[in-house]
Structures are given as structure tokens and as C-alpha cells.
């Protein structure tokens, strides 16, 4: 067995120790005589797993009791509809800022339910910038303001939290748990699990409790935050195994020293990769330096004809999933929490060698 370095944007790398523990507990979970996957979600084991996962997640992120933490399904993409359905109430407008492919999808879905005010857009720069705050056209009457703190495809990230007067909603799918954040600045935070939380199939939502009564009457029962909040996320069968694995990831993160400690490692990983790219004269990252993502690093080669060879050789050298998104081209290294620093060092060494041979 050889586990290789996985730079996939999602589903992404998981900590090896988590996978090993899951393997050990797979057939017979702590002498219960069956696998977690085979247990009732009402069993004492699953209830305990879910409670512990929530407690660890709250501790890691510093989430107060003013917020409900929900374990849902449907991915971040389902939240593109759930957000307007839950937050519009009688209001008919919402603010969105367009900073990349995921913002665009969120906007398109919201337009089915309300009038979307595009606060600003960086599409003109091919999403390589964050629009300057003084250009934003915020609407004080908007039901909420939605943004995508980290655009996974473009590798563009907001350097600070955009504070306004209406509840702030964030799609944190690819940035959650990468560093400490001030949850109290937000109305709703949502994230698909398959980047920094755990395996696919789980979606986490953090919602301020005073926003639970704003759902549109037609909001489906299963999409209403209130349904999940009032039923400990067990109104129907939750993704029990994904919750279990997410719980193991949270414990792993606590052992690493929590989000402050993981941020230090993440910054070191990202800094060395960006500074190598910038100084290489062979690779380039198109994003303005202040808006570069901590988690997703797209880069192009001096000559796009070399892309295929780069991918084939990097794979041979034990590095998987470096192909960039088709809308950006080139390569993308996603360096989430579970991608070890050694993987980044190995990648940089490979890139140096490749540039030397082809430069
Ligand atoms: C991956 C991703 C999504 C899509 O998530 P799904 O769980 O596949 O729906 C949405 N937004 C961002 C920022 C992402 O990184």
C-alpha cells in the first residue's frame, strides 16, 4: 500500500490517523458488535458521536450558544437555495458579491427566489481580485449579504470580513477550519464537508438563532434550518458515518493545537509555495497578492503545451490531482489542513526540477 500526496480540491485529503482509526473501528465499533454504518441514528452510540462532534466543532470555532450548529445533507449547492428560502421572510431582495464561479452559482440560484443586488463583481479581472470595498453598492434593505470568503476555483480569498448592516452569510466550504474566524460577525455560515471537515455527504450550517424564524412559508421542511435546529439534526436520517468521520477530524484538529496552530502551518505551506512560484520565472499565479487563497493555489506553466507532461510526471512522482479547473487552466494545488507540509515541499522540489528541464 502506498498512500500518495493528494492535492484534490474536493473531496480532499483526510488525515491518515483518522482513516486508520476508522479502519480499526469499522467492523465492530467499540464492542457494540456492529459497524457505525449499521446503527440506528437514535442509538446511544450515534447520539453520543453527534453530540461530541458538535461540542468539538463549537470549541474549535468558538461558537456561542446564540448559534445553532446543524449537520445537513445536499452539499453547499443545496444551501444556495436554502439560504434565500430561510432568510428572506417578507423581504424580496438580497445582496451578493460576485467573486468567482461559486458566487455565480449562488447568485443564479438565489435569483429564483428574490431580486439579487450584485454589490460588486470581479468578473472583469477574470476573478483574480476582490473588488475594492469603496466600490461596493450595498443595500441597507437587503435581507442578507452573501459572499464566498474563499473561491476554490479561482484561488481568491477575502483578506478580511466584509462587515455591513444586514446579516452576513458565507459559503465557507473551502476555508472553514483553516484558521480562527470570528463567528459572531455572521448570520449564517455553511460548508460542504468534503474539503476541510470530512468526507462528502455532510453539510454543516452555523446559524444565529434569531434568524430561525425568517423562512418563507414554501421553504421545504427538509431545507428549513428550524427543522434541524429543533430536532438535533435528526428530523430524518442524518449522514451518520460522515458525522462520525468529521468528529474524528475535529479531534485530530484539537490534537494539532486547534485553529491557531493549524493556521501557522497553513500559512507556512502557502507562503513557501507562492514565493517559489513568484520567484521561479517559469510558473505564475494570476491572483493579486493580497487576495491569494490560503487553501487553493492555482498556477500556470510558462508554456501550456507542457501541462500534460507536468501532470503525468507529477503523478509518477506520487502527487495526485494537480490539474487546474477548466475555467482557469494550468494547475491547482489544494493544500487543505490534512495535506502535510511534506507534500508541499515535495511539490516544490518537483516543480523546480520540472522547470529546470523545460525552462
Ligand atoms: C466545493 C464548493 C462548493 C460545492 O459544494 P457541494 O458540496 O459539492 O455542493 C460550493 N462552494 C464552494 C466555495 C466550494 O468550494
Beta carbons of 145 and 119 less than 8 angstroms apart: yes
Q: List residues with catalytic annotation.
A: 102, 171, 195
- What's the CA gap between 309 and 327, in Å, rounded? 20
Ligand 1 pocket, residue 248 CB under 6 Å: no
Residue 205, SS3 per DSSP: strand
pLDDT for position 104: 98
**Cα 226 to middle of ligand 1, angstroms:** 23
Confidence of residue 236 (pLDDT cuts 50, 70, 90): very high
Instruction: Return d(Cα 282, Cα 24) in angstroms, integer.
Output: 45
For residue 359, pLDDT over 90 is answered with no
Query: What is the predicted pLDDT for the residue at 47?
Result: 97
Average confidence score pLDDT of the chain? 97
In CATH, what number does 258-358 get? Answer: 3.90.1150.10
Q: Whose CA is nearest to atom 3 of ligand 1?
A: 76
- What percentage of residues in the chain have a pLDDT greater than 90? 97
Indicate if the pLDDT at residue 1 is higher than 90.
no
Q: How confident is the model at residue 163 (pLDDT cuts 50, 70, 90)?
A: confident
**What's the CA-to-centroid distance between 192 and ligand 1, angstroms?**
6
Domain with CATH 3.90.1150.10 in the chain: 258-358
Query: Using alpha carbons only, what angle is made at residue 38 by residues 34 and 41, rounded to the nearest 5 degrees?
Result: 115
pLDDT of residue 165 exceeding 80, the answer is yes
**Percent helix, strand, coil in the chain (nearest 5)?**
40, 15, 40
Q: How far is CA 279 from CA 81, 102, 132, 218, 285, in A?
A: 43, 30, 27, 54, 11
Rounded Cα gap, residues 175 and 198, in angstroms: 13
Contact (Cβ atoms closer than 8 angstroms) between residue 226 and residue 82: no
Q: What is the pLDDT of residues 31-60, one digit of tens each?
A: 999 999 999 999 999 999 999 999 999 999
The CA radius of gyration of the chain, in Å to the nearest whole number, is 21
Where along the chain do the CATH 3.40.640.10 domains lie?
17-256
Cell numbers representing residue 120 in the block: 460588486
Average pLDDT over residues 334-343: 98
CATH number of 17-256: 3.40.640.10
Length of the chain: 359
Give residue 164's pLDDT band: very low, low, confident or very high (50, 70, 90).
Answer: confident
Question: Which are the contacts of 198, defined by CB distance < 8 A and separation ≥ 6?
Answer: 14, 242, 243, 245, 246, 248, 249
Residue 2 has pLDDT above 90, yes or no: no
Give me the pLDDT at residue 279, please.
98
Q: In this predicted structure, what is the pLDDT of residue 244? A: 98
The DSSP 8-state label assigned to residue 253 in this structure reads H
State the Cα–Cα distance between residues 133 and 120, nearest whole angstrom: 9
**pLDDT at position 327, please?**
86
The fraction of the chain above a pLDDT of 70, given in percent, is 100
- Residues ≥6 apart with Cβ < 8 Å to 135: 120
Per-residue pLDDT for 106 more than 90?
yes
* CA 11 vs CA 7, 219, 239, 258, 359: distances in Å: 10, 29, 16, 22, 33
Q: Say what the pLDDT of residue 328 is.
A: 87
- Gap from CA of 202 to ligand 1 centroid (Å): 12
Amino acid at each position: 500500500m502506498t498512500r500518495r500526496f493528494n492535492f484534490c480540491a474536493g473531496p480532499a485529503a483526510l488525515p491518515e490517523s483518522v482513516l486508520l482509526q476508522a479502519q480499526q473501528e469499522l467492523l465492530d465499533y467499540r464492542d457494540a458488535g456492529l459497524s457505525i454504518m449499521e446503527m440506528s441514528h437514535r442509538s446511544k452510540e450515534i447520539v453520543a458521536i453527534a453530540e461530541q462532534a458538535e461540542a468539538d466543532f463549537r470549541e474549535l470555532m468558538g461558537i456561542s450558544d446564540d448559534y445553532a450548529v446543524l449537520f445537513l445533507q445536499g452539499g453547499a449547492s443545496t444551501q444556495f437555495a436554502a439560504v434565500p428560502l430561510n432568510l428572506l421572510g417578507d423581504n424580496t431582495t438580497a445582496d451578493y458579491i460576485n467573486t468567482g464561479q461559486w458566487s455565480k452559482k449562488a447568485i443564479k440560484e438565489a435569483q429564483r427566489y428574490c431580486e439579487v443586488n450584485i454589490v460588486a463583481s470581479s468578473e472583469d479581472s477574470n476573478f483574480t481580485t476582490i473588488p475594492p470595498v469603496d466600490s461596493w453598492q450595498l443595500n441597507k434593505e437587503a435581507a442578507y449579504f452573501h459572499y464566498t470568503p474563499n473561491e476554490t476555483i479561482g484561488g481568491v480569498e477575502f483578506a478580511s470580513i466584509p462587515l455591513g448592516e444586514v446579516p452576513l452569510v458565507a459559503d465557507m466550504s473551502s476555508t472553514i477550519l483553516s484558521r480562527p474566524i470570528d463567528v459572531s460577525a455572521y448570520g449564517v455560515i455553511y460548508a460542504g464537508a468534503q474539503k476541510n471537515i470530512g468526507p462528502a455527504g455532510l453539510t454543516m450550517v452555523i446559524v444565529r438563532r434569531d434568524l430561525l424564524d425568517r423562512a418563507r412559508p414554501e421553504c421545504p421542511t427538509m431545507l428549513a434550518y428550524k427543522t434541524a435546529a429543533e430536532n438535533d439534526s435528526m428530523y430524518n436520517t442524518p449522514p451518520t458515518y460522515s458525522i462520525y468521520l468529521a468528529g474524528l477530524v475535529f479531534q485530530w484538529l484539537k490534537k494539532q493545537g486547534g485553529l491557531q496552530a493549524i493556521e501557522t502551518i497553513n500559512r507556512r505551506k502557502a507562503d513557501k509555495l507562492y514565493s517559489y512560484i513568484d520567484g521561479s520565472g517559469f510558473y505564475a499565479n494570476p491572483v493579486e497578492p493580497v487576495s491569494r487563497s490560503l487553501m487553493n493555489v492555482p498556477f500556470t506553466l510558462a508554456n501550456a503545451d507542457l501541462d500534460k507532461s507536468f501532470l503525468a510526471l507529477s503523478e509518477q512522482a506520487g502527487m495526485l490531482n494537480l490539474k487546474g479547473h477548466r475555467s482557469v487552466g494550468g494547475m491547482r494545488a489544494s493544500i487543505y489542513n490534512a495535506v502535510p507540509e511534506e507534500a508541499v515541499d515535495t511539490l516544490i522540489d518537483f516543480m523546480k526540477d520540472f522547470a529546470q528541464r523545460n525552462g
